[in-house]
Amino acid sequence: MKKLLLITLFVILSLGLVTAADATSFPFKPISARTEGMGGAGVATAKATDSLFMNPATLAHGKFSLNMPSVSLTVFNVLDILNSDIPQIIETGGDDMPLNLAMEFLNKIVTAGRGEILTTDVGVSFTGGGFGLGVNVQEQLHTISSDGSLTNDKIIAEVNVAAPIGLGFRFNLVPDAISLDVGASVKFVYRAYTQKIGAVQLTSLVESDDPMQSLMENTLVTAGWALPIDIGVNLNLPVGLRVSAVARNINGNYNMKDYTELGGWLNEMTSLAGMDPIYQDNAPATDIGAEYAVQVPWTLDAGFGWAPYIGKALQPSLAVDLSDVLGVIDGSKKLLDNASAGVELKLLSFLTARAGINKGYYSVGVGLDLLIAHLDVSYFVREFGVEIGDKRVDALTIRFNLGVDGQ
């Protein structure tokens, strides 16, 4: 009963922190090499840092993990890049390499609709005893185009900073047989992204006398913050079975502002950090717009996991997820569009193999654990179109971290 009161109090306090915000934005989640290798599934099988973003109820297992730090790089359109002139441009180098790379990518890689170029995730985290906290910084480069032609291709840069904190408790319903995990996490998230930058603007920036100053003066930025909450539950059954559910992005309200200059926004950030301004404003003073609301609804996700204990030398697990359960039930979402599944097989405590499927697309991954050094690699395919088959995009994620991974 005391544990139940504590978790209830934690949720109430978290809700109280975010009631002042009136808008939501897209939920923040780092790209996880482990879950992507398993088809993106992991609601019932999340571990270590993933617990803070996938399902806080899995913190209740109490396992210790420490990432100091964790660094991952995700490159999209891998096969298209290898078949383009990008490798030769990088090998040749030169002062024009950045512009040549951008032009080659926009001209040969970008297709109609939205897409991704590159994502980096850097974080530190700790979990143990049902408690978890961390800090993650993510950079993303997006693309958007009306028809995939060079003149209409645009690039958007985005930065996210998230500081999650979570609690999880386990209630033994039937000793050594059935238990219930309850958990909640709240994340402070700050998000900033630039205006759409096209080929013409990119060329003028690079060819200006001071490209960096020109970028600072002529790039619009939108930025804001939120404190979204996730609440999860796990029903743990015999022989390693688990049924899970997560209410995600509850009251994830973002307060957003528009800045007429990238440099002005950057100076505001350095000022908050107690640093001197790094941008010398030669243009008119930065104009900061009034706060406005952007809202994205919360979702209910469900998961099934099976991790039977065979022995330390062989540790298999299975995960099946269904995202936005309510949307599937009311018919606004398709079942196959929201289902994912994956398997993981840990061999001899240092080698892990993974495979999965998401919307009919495959994924594979491998993990290597060497004492305090951990390396995870995954290759996966995701759908960026409206319907399955509209826009297939492949990606490669490489993650390295030092510490105790807890996986």
Residue found under tokens 């904190």: 165
Cα–Cα nearest to 245, from 7, 57, 12, 41: 57
What's the chain look like in SS3? Answer: CHHHHHHHHHHHHHHHHHCCCCCECCCCCCCCHHHHHCCCCCCCCCCCCHHHHHCHHHHHHCCCEEEEEEEEEEEECHHHHHCCCHHHHHHHCCCCHHHHHHHHHHHHCCCCEEEEEEEEEEEEEEEECCEEEEEEEEEEEEEEECCCCHHHCEEEEEEEEEEEEEEEEEEEEECCCEEEEEEEEEEEEEEEEECCEEHHHHHHHHHCCCHHHHHHHHCCEEEEEECCEEEEEEEECHHHEEEEEEEEEECCEEEEEEECCHHHHHHHHHHHCCCCCCCCCCCCCCCECCCEEECCCCEEEEEEEECCCCECCEEEEEEEEECCHHHHHCCCCCCHHHEEEEEEEEECCCEEEEEEEECCEEEEEEEEEECCEEEEEEEEEEECCCCCCCCEEEEEEEEEEEEECCC
- Reading the block at residue 334, the tokens are 């398709």
Residue 342, pLDDT score? 97
**8 A C-beta contact, residue 168 and residue 152:** no
Residue 148, pLDDT score? 85
Q: How many C-beta atoms lie closer than 10 Å to residue 400's C-beta?
A: 16
Residue 284, pLDDT score? 65
Rounded (10°) angle between helices 262-272 and 211-218: 90
How does pLDDT run along the chain (407 residues), one tens digit per residue? 545 444 444 444 444 333 333 333 467 889 999 999 999 999 999 988 899 999 999 999 888 999 889 999 999 999 999 999 999 998 888 877 878 888 888 888 998 888 999 999 999 999 999 999 999 999 999 999 888 888 888 999 999 999 999 999 999 999 989 999 999 999 999 999 998 888 778 777 777 777 788 888 888 999 999 999 999 999 999 999 999 999 999 988 889 999 988 888 888 888 887 888 877 776 667 788 888 888 878 999 999 999 998 877 788 999 999 999 999 999 888 898 899 999 999 988 789 999 999 988 999 999 999 888 999 999 999 988 877 778 899 999 999 999 887 65
Residue 184, pLDDT score? 97
CA torsion through residues 141, 142, 148, 152, sign: negative
Residue 407, pLDDT score? 57
Residue 278: HSE in the Cβ half-sphere, 13 Å Cα cutoff: 13
Strand partners, 354: 344, 365
- Please give the Cα distance from 78 to 62 (Å, whole number): 38
Q: How many C-beta atoms lie closer than 10 Å to residue 151's C-beta?
A: 11
Residue 5, pLDDT score? 45
Residue 152, pLDDT score? 87
User: How long a stretch of residues is the chain?
Assistant: 407
Residue 282, pLDDT score? 67
- Please give the Cα distance from 232 to 46 (Å, whole number): 12
